[in-house]
Amino acid sequence: MMKTRKKVYVGLSADILHEGHINILKVANSYGDVIVGLLTDQAISSYKNIPYLDYNRRKIVLQNIKYVKKVIAQKTLDYVENLNLIKPDFVVHGDDWKEGVQKTTRLRVIKTLKKWSGKLIEPKYTKNISSTIIKNKLSKSKNFSQNRTSLLKRLIESKEIVRILESHNSLTGLIIENIKVEKKNSIIQFDGMWSSSLTDSATKGKPDNSSVDFSSRINSLNDMMDVTSKLLIFDGDNGGELEHLPFLVRSLERAGVSALIIEDKIGLKKNSLFRDQSGARQDKPHNFAKKIKQVCKSRKSSDFMIIARIESFILGKNIKDAIKRAETYSKAGADAILIHSKSNTTKEIFSFAKQFKKSKYFKPLVSVPSTYSKVRERELINNGFKIVIYANHLLRAAYPSMEQVAKAILINGRSFEIEKKIIPINKIINLIKSN
């Protein structure tokens, strides 16, 4: 009679399979039949960047490894649900999770296994190899821009909300690339960058009235893209002339940009957050729809998203006008809708979201909470928003800090007094070296 092999559970993201994964699976197979709990795209993106390969592709690879008996979905970072379902004799995981964000997960695994006298096996972690290291190398390849373009669409599908922060130069891009916060046993980070016409103009000492042309902005964009790997959304103002849009789209796609946002204002640009909007005009819905169709026609890949920004509330128009425009732009091919507001409350954008969700033309919603900054991301999620853009905060933070330092040097006749308030030069050097 054939002896029944014991059940072994291995939780993996297996984004890009490497020898470290094979080592773990080989060890696991020595204890019994291996069931891999493969983390879904949603589970992975809850604590780090979206995986390079989607769930189905990763599953196919694992199913064809000789050490693996079965592959099932692990829908969260927590193992407990799958462990209670399978009741494995062993769980195998590298010893690298004893500290850091996975420490709590490990303790929950040990506690759960005790219910049926299961055992945790922790082989030594394979050093100097990981999916992250491989992805960093891939990001420097010439084909990375194509994969980068698709990031936003994949994140919208896999995350509750996509978190975007303004970047106005390469250094701020590196900050967004590297900043992480541990919160409730998970890693919170920004998903990408926002290239704003306001901040780009401001860094050049020019007004936000299209005085900085797209060619100049593309140069700044390329500098940021050279040193980062996260997605970027480009602020295209009103898109310019219809005939020029194909050239802008091609430049953005070539750089690996994920989305272009264009607004339905016409004429000389006036920033939407200016109190005085006299003279500002909104395009007719059918005219703006032509721009959207032109972008859709010009793009090489549907992964490159077009987001229509509606200025109805900025110009004092009602929700009926905003809904009509949203439906018209969606029908024209817009992949998402940004409903803009200069109110200090969420009343009008949430009312818009509630009504628009009932429409058959509903598309993912984008929020820019510059004026209604008290809103929490959870509230945005609950009201149907999928993208939040913090549109100018790094620039606004930088200016007062630089002003204070400059004044202090003048007052004291030296820089000693402000040394503790500014970043050590070594940290700047290391930030750049880490790229």
Residue 216 has which token pair? 């100049």
> Would you state the pLDDT for residue 134?
55
Nearest Cα neighbor of 244 from 294, 283, 302 is 294
The model's confidence at residue 269, banded by pLDDT at 50, 70 and 90, is low
Question: Which has the higher per-residue pLDDT, 19 or 278?
Answer: 19
What's the chain's average pLDDT?
90
Can you tell me the distance from the alpha carbon of 380 to that of 387, in angstroms, rounded to the nearest whole number? Answer: 9
Question: Which one-letter amino acid corresponds to residue 341?
Answer: S
Residue that has been written with the tokens 């040990």 in this structure? 110
Phi and psi at residue 220, to the nearest 5°? -65, -40
Does 1 score more than 80 pLDDT?
A: no
Q: How many CB atoms lie within 10 A of CB 251?
A: 17
> Would you state the pLDDT for residue 182?
81
**Domains of the chain by range and CATH?**
7-132 (3.40.50.620), 141-391 (3.20.20.60), 397-433 (no CATH)
The model's confidence at residue 435, banded by pLDDT at 50, 70 and 90, is low
Q: How many CB atoms lie within 10 A of CB 266?
A: 14
The model's confidence at residue 17, banded by pLDDT at 50, 70 and 90, is confident
Q: What percent of the chain has pLDDT over 90?
A: 69
Does 101 score more than 90 pLDDT?
A: no
Lowest mean pLDDT among 69-73, 185-189, 224-228: 185-189
Identify the active-site residue in 15, 191, 208, 235: 208
> Would you state the pLDDT for residue 343?
95
Lowest mean pLDDT among 67-81, 142-156, 257-271, 416-430: 142-156
Can you tell me the distance from the alpha carbon of 112 to that of 91, in angstroms, rounded to the nearest whole number? Answer: 11
Does 92 score more than 50 pLDDT?
A: yes
For 201-233, what is each residue's pLDDT tens digit? 888 888 777 767 888 889 889 999 999 999 999
**How large is the average pLDDT for residues 142-156?**
79
For 274-296, what is each residue's pLDDT tens digit? 566 666 799 999 999 999 999 99
Question: Which one-letter amino acid corresponds to residue 361?
Answer: Y
> Would you state the pLDDT for residue 124?
86
CB 323 within 8 A of CB 169: no
Does 110 score more than 90 pLDDT?
A: yes
For 309-368, what is each residue's pLDDT tens digit? 999 999 999 999 999 999 999 999 999 999 999 999 999 999 999 999 999 999 999 999
Can you tell me the distance from the alpha carbon of 81 to that of 64, in angstroms, rounded to the nearest whole number? Answer: 25
Does 299 score more than 70 pLDDT?
A: yes
The model's confidence at residue 428, banded by pLDDT at 50, 70 and 90, is confident
* Pairing of β 336-339 and β 90-92: unpaired
Does 433 score more than 70 pLDDT?
A: no
Question: Which one-letter amino acid corresponds to residue 198?
Answer: L
Q: Helices in 16-93 by DSSP H: which ranges?
A: 19-29, 41-45, 55-63, 80-86
> Would you state the pLDDT for residue 206?
83
Nearest Cα neighbor of 164 from 420, 370, 322 is 370
> Would you state the pLDDT for residue 279?
63
Known catalytic residue at 321: no
Q: What is the pTM of this model?
A: 0.84
How far CA 412 is from CA of 331, 405, 407, 418, 425, in Å, comes to 62, 11, 9, 10, 21
> Would you state the pLDDT for residue 277?
62
The number of residues making up the chain comes to: 435
Does 141 score more than 70 pLDDT?
A: no
